[in-house]
Structure 1
């Protein structure tokens, strides 16, 4: 029996060496989980069981357990390299056959599907084409949509700016104001028989109250009729922003501000150098109907916060319809002010954009697949899923750093990263093997000694047997 006991010990030590050697061989394998040999002693037994003084019959390899501890995260320059920080496995499909892995080597195939280095497709939730929301339910093959992003026409332009309260009317308008005021003031005095050389304060105030609104109206009319976007002396300030039509064409919207009174301004709006009727500023028939802005004594805007441009028809550079839909633009100046400081725009936001080509992909820690486009926009194209198991040790190794579900592992629990017990995903990184080389090298020494000791048992048994044979 000693021969069998020693032989079982040699087999066990050999298995231990094989398992340790396999761990060492995969020390640099991404997503690899180290294994360990678990041994059990053996006792001979009859139908009635073992005796009270039963002797052992050796050792056997009871189980090869895998250690699913976290490996180190190594950062790479590939955005589709993925690592799991925490619990869970990536789910991949090979023509419907699911496998589970911690190795995050992913890229795209010629059809745009996200695949690992074995060509298996990464599983996740798709996106509803209408709502843009994630379709949580049955996982599917994740695919990168390489088509250009659709343009979005501008519907609202929000600006916050300051108009200089110390600014004066344009020169031509101020001249008209001064001339009209003087004329009306003198005419009122003469019409009412006042003595201009002995004018009382009340008479002067009465004449001023008559002349001022007439002068103001005349100067405002002069400012509007004399407005010329190519002549900076006809306005006080201007600012521009791009707006987009339904085809993604950019158009330059410029707002010109003309001071008309102490707390009043005109805002002229031109798009591509044309008024809102499509007439070029250089055309003899050009005219501009401004929006009126009014500020209170504290410098806050109290009128004209939102100006609506209805049924604007986008035109091309030749003044012909660009083929885009007519659209309505809302200009929101809420928060704008009139203070004694230079003109300035503190913020401008418009909700349109042109078409864009796919510029890159990103995956956030919750597995959201986000596409970046050349127009500065982003779009969610899906969300990968992770799988967890009640008994990870029950998974069946498939090779290629992958496992399959078995009856011992239980059913997979599918969820998005960060939900339940699922870990988080790190994009642009890979999880390294969790093999501890120092520990493995020590295990080699221990397994070698065990092998030698069991061989010594056989050698000793052989010597004892030879002694018995030599008895005469």
Structure 2
């Protein structure tokens, strides 16, 4: 039985190394959130087993936790690079699947049709604004008209700290194209990872709660900045060494069990 007990340890060490490697590989990925592996023991017992004689038979991966702590914010100077200074996720809608996704990566750009989109082509969602008041009950794609009512051409777009998307035109006028919608969740660790620093809501995360940047528990927006990965390289290297030692110890236990078995076989012969 010691073989299988140590085998579970080897598999868990490999899982932990995979998690650490994934974190290190994404140390420079904007909006990336690191993960940690959590383990639980396995015991061999039944309702009639004497508690004093319960035998441990290894361990298993109980959960891979996502850590949504805030990463460092770096200035870029680009008006459509956005960072959330606090809680919340940007809401984007995929143009291929039609699904609503959530991200902390605020590297947005303007396409040829005037829509603000992510690097993956998903369109940023915002609250419609009427007479300066945002309607927080509905979402829409952020669209910047190429000309205003007077026929003047588009000159530029900026986003202020409250999330207002302000389009300016050649005649000096400006229009609000919407207010960036932030989403939050009761249990963000239950979000499903989609890759590209994006997540999707699940039953474990709960339904999204929408709000304006800077209101309630939602963070303010920093325009011209991006949130970097929250991976600490020094911490990950220590975790990697620990996982390596964990792997070596379990491998040594298997080697020891093999030697004991061989000794018993030799006694019988």
Distance in 1 (CA, whole Å) between partners of 2:246 and 2:16 is: 10
Give the secondary-structure state (helix, strand or coil) at the position aligned to 2:19: helix
Give the secondary-structure state (helix, strand or coil) at the position aligned to 1:92: strand
Give the secondary-structure state (helix, strand or coil) at the position aligned to 2:70: coil
Shift of 1:127: 3.3
Distance in 1 (CA, whole Å) between partners of 2:136 and 2:24 is: 41
Distance in 2 (CA, whole Å) between partners of 1:63 and 1:132 is: 45
Distance in 2 (CA, whole Å) between partners of 1:86 and 1:470 is: 66
**Distance change (3 Å), C-alpha of 1:429 and 1:49:** farther
Counterparts of 1:304-323 in structure 2, within 5 Å, are none
1:194 paired residue number: none
Shift of 1:416: 0.9
Distance in 1 (CA, whole Å) between partners of 2:50 and 2:37 is: 26
Q: 1:127 aligns with which of 119, 126, 129?
A: 129
Is the CA contact 1:9–1:454 (under 8 Å) kept in the aligned structure 2?
Answer: yes
1:51 paired residue number: 51
> Alpha-carbon deviations, 1:297-322, whole Å to 9, x = none?
xxxxxxxxxxxxxxxxxxxxxxxxxx
Is the CA contact 2:136–2:210 (under 8 Å) kept in the aligned structure 1?
Answer: no
Distance in 2 (CA, whole Å) between partners of 1:393 and 1:147 is: 43
2:18 paired residue number: 18
Distance in 2 (CA, whole Å) between partners of 1:36 and 1:423 is: 25
Aligned length: 266
Counterparts of 1:140-219 in structure 2, within 5 Å, are 140-148=140-148, 150=150
> Alpha-carbon deviations, 1:154-174, whole Å to 9, x = none?
xxxxxxxxxxxxxxxxxxxxx
2:236 paired residue number: 440
**Distance change (3 Å), C-alpha of 1:375 and 1:50:** farther
For structure 2, the residue ranges without an aligned partner over 5 or more in a row are none
> Alpha-carbon deviations, 1:321-350, whole Å to 9, x = none?
xxxxxxxxxxxxxxxxxxxxxxxxxxxxxx
Give the secondary-structure state (helix, strand or coil) at the position aligned to 2:267: coil
2:262 paired residue number: 466
Shift of 1:53: 2.5
Q: 1:420 aligns with which of 216, 220, 224?
A: 216
Shift of 1:48: 4.2
Counterparts of 1:27-426 in structure 2, within 5 Å, are 27-48=27-48, 51-95=51-95, 96-128=98-130, 131=131, 133-148=133-148, 150=150, 356-426=152-222
Is the CA contact 1:9–1:451 (under 8 Å) kept in the aligned structure 2?
Answer: yes
**Distance change (3 Å), C-alpha of 1:358 and 1:110:** closer
Shift of 1:126: 2.1
Shift of 1:55: 2.1
Distance in 1 (CA, whole Å) between partners of 2:40 and 2:60 is: 6
- TM-score of the two chains, using structure 2 as the length reference: 0.94
Distance in 2 (CA, whole Å) between partners of 1:76 and 1:19 is: 29
For structure 1, the residue ranges without an aligned partner over 5 or more in a row are 151-354
- TM-score of the two chains, using structure 1 as the length reference: 0.54
**Distance change (3 Å), C-alpha of 1:34 and 1:127:** same
1:169 paired residue number: none
**Distance change (3 Å), C-alpha of 1:133 and 1:7:** same
Shift of 1:358: 2.3
Is the CA contact 1:71–1:432 (under 8 Å) kept in the aligned structure 2?
Answer: yes
Distance in 2 (CA, whole Å) between partners of 1:123 and 1:149 is: 23
Is the CA contact 2:45–2:55 (under 8 Å) kept in the aligned structure 1?
Answer: no
